[in-house]
Chains A and B, each alone.
Chain A
Amino acid sequence: MSEHSLELKGSLFPLSVLHCTDASAATLGPLLSAKLAQAPGFFYQAPIVLNLQDCVDVPDFAALKHLFSELKLVLVGVTGASASVKTAAQQAGLAVLQAGKAATTKSAASEAHSTSSSAQSAQKTAATHSLAAQPVMMDSKVVEQTVRSGQQIYAKGADLIVKGAVGAGAEVIADGNIHIYGSLRGKAIAGASGDTSKRIYCYNMQAELVSVAGNYWLSESLQGEFWGKPACIKLQDETLVISELV
């Protein structure tokens, strides 16, 4: 290996793709800073790819680069651009990226266009790993009181902590884990956006329904050893597993 002082290898990195219809710095500026204000710090110095599919005019890339650096973002390239826009982007020192399979969703357009299947599968793990590696923590949503019948609480992209109970006929939903320090008598849905590693913890299990990443149990499946006791629900080999809280 010591012979190789230089090595060029294809890798896949998750990148945030910004979709917009008007890519002028004047329009984009306020919209983007409002968006960033919703999750301050989350996109700090994040590499961004601009998707110009829906844009008609050739944007002023110098102004855009300035805008992005002001907002503490790194504009690395463009995608979905027409031929004239591509040239302008390249002149401004930006990479032109081909839209990957996942480019229409939130992230993961690749700079190196590897098509090998191993790289494809690596894409997904790389995405989760690098998210975990980011030092930015998403705040958990904390509910101070009891969640009453008829109320619905959704923790988007975060864990949910309920200090009270969750009443019969109430629903608590989180993209992350759910922690309930009172009784769970209603419905609890963890990993709502499909994350199978998420769990539900509660101090007193009497749920109407529990679900992790779409796999659910109704109350009758829970009536057993752990009914009315502290319990944890997780997903193992695509089936729900209940265990006690130690």
Chain B
Amino acid sequence: MAKIIVVTSGKGGVGKTTSSAAIGTGLALAGHKTVIVDFDIGLRNLDLIMGCERRVVYDFVNVINGEANLKQTLIKDKRVDNLFILPASQTRDKDALTKEGVERVLNELAQDFDFILCDSPAGIESGAMMALYFADEAVVVTNPEVSSVRDSDRIIGMLSSKSRRAEQGLEGIKEHLLLTRYNPERVQKGEMLSVEDVKEILAIELIGVIPESQAVLNASNSGQPVIMDKDSDAGQAYLDTVQRLLGEKVPLRFLTVEKKGFIKRIFGG
């Protein structure tokens, strides 16, 4: 039985697509057959982050409208086995998604895949609702600043009231908090909310903290999920996150300011 995980946040630009790409790749690396579905119809980005923008022929909306089948549309990742991408349409808008259409596609994917990762668009409108409606679990991506935290709070409310699980009275969506762009130095200076602050406000289980890192931008620009950059702190933090998502206990890292060594202090680091 496939597990449907939505990656959502409410606010834009917090790292939903980056996280979807990284977590999806991580799950595939761990041997699980995974598909990442781009729900951001009209603002297609996932293909860029995954580095497969030139291989998009058909898209999600084509499949919903019956203009193409899944086999034609799914893009197989060239680097990682077991990893597929279902790209969004760039020329349509979010109203092209229907609940029945999305359900049909997800059901079809569920027969083949272990994990279906839904990369949600920003906002709380139909596109985002569609992405979270069928989810079993949710990764709520949040930046350590007040507006992102408030929007996440709003989307967590939506998860517990507007999803299929809520409507059918099933056990609620399992919510995970993923804190991204975390900068311990700025937290120490009081310029940024700390992990504890955010946890206290949102009151859901923390699944990972991704440090603010140059590696993320580099990865996006080169179309390589940051989790594949195993030397980078962000890549390692995503690897930890995926392990926690799979139920393993892994201690949090990158939460404190790194002490600069003597040499670094003299020569600059």
Contact status A167-B201, CB under 8 Å:
yes
Contact status B153-A168, CB under 8 Å:
yes
User: A179 an interface residue at 8 Å Cβ cutoff?
Assistant: no
Contact status A145-B153, CB under 8 Å:
no
Segment 189-213 of B: residues with Cβ below 8 Å from A:
200-201, 203
User: A198 an interface residue at 8 Å Cβ cutoff?
Assistant: no
User: A185 an interface residue at 8 Å Cβ cutoff?
Assistant: yes
Q: Closest residue to A182 on the B side, CB-wise?
A: B203
In whole angstroms, how far apart are the Cα atoms of A145 and B175 in the complex? 13
Segment 146-161 of B: residues with Cβ below 8 Å from A:
150-151, 153-154, 156-158, 160-161
7 A-B pairs within 8 Å (CB atoms) are namely A147-B157, A149-B154, A150-B124, A150-B157, A151-B161, A169-B154, A185-B201
- Asked, given contacts A145-B160, A148-B157, whether A169 binds B150 with beta carbons under 8 Å apart, the answer is yes
Residues of chain A within 8 A of B150, CB atoms compared: 149, 167-169
Residues of chain B within 8 A of A182, CB atoms compared: 203
B153, B154, B200: which has the most chain A beta carbons within 10 Å? B153
Contact status A164-B154, CB under 8 Å:
no
Shortest distance between the CB of A160 and any CB in chain B (Å): 17
Contact status A167-B153, CB under 8 Å:
yes
Main SS at interface, chain A? loop
In whole angstroms, how far apart are the Cα atoms of A148 and B153 in the complex? 5
Q: Closest residue to A168 on the B side, CB-wise?
A: B150
Shortest distance between the CB of A151 and any CB in chain B (Å): 5
In whole angstroms, how far apart are the Cα atoms of A145 and B201 in the complex? 13
User: A97 an interface residue at 8 Å Cβ cutoff?
Assistant: no
Residues of chain A within 8 A of B158, CB atoms compared: 148, 150
Q: Give 8 closest A-B pairs by Cβ, nearest first.
A: A148-B157, A149-B153, A149-B154, A150-B154, A167-B153, A151-B157, A148-B153, A146-B203
Residues of chain B within 8 A of A170, CB atoms compared: 153, 157
Q: Closest residue to A167 on the B side, CB-wise?
A: B153
In whole angstroms, how far apart are the Cα atoms of A189 and B73 in the complex? 52
In whole angstroms, how far apart are the Cα atoms of A151 and B154 in the complex? 8
Segment 129-178 of A: residues with Cβ below 8 Å from B:
145-151, 164-165, 167-170
Contact status A165-B203, CB under 8 Å:
yes
Contact status A148-B201, CB under 8 Å:
no
Residues of chain A within 8 A of B201, CB atoms compared: 165, 167-168, 185
Contact with A along B124-136 (1 / 0, CB 8 A): 1000000000000
Contact with B along A211-240 (1 / 0, CB 8 A): 000000000000000000000000000000
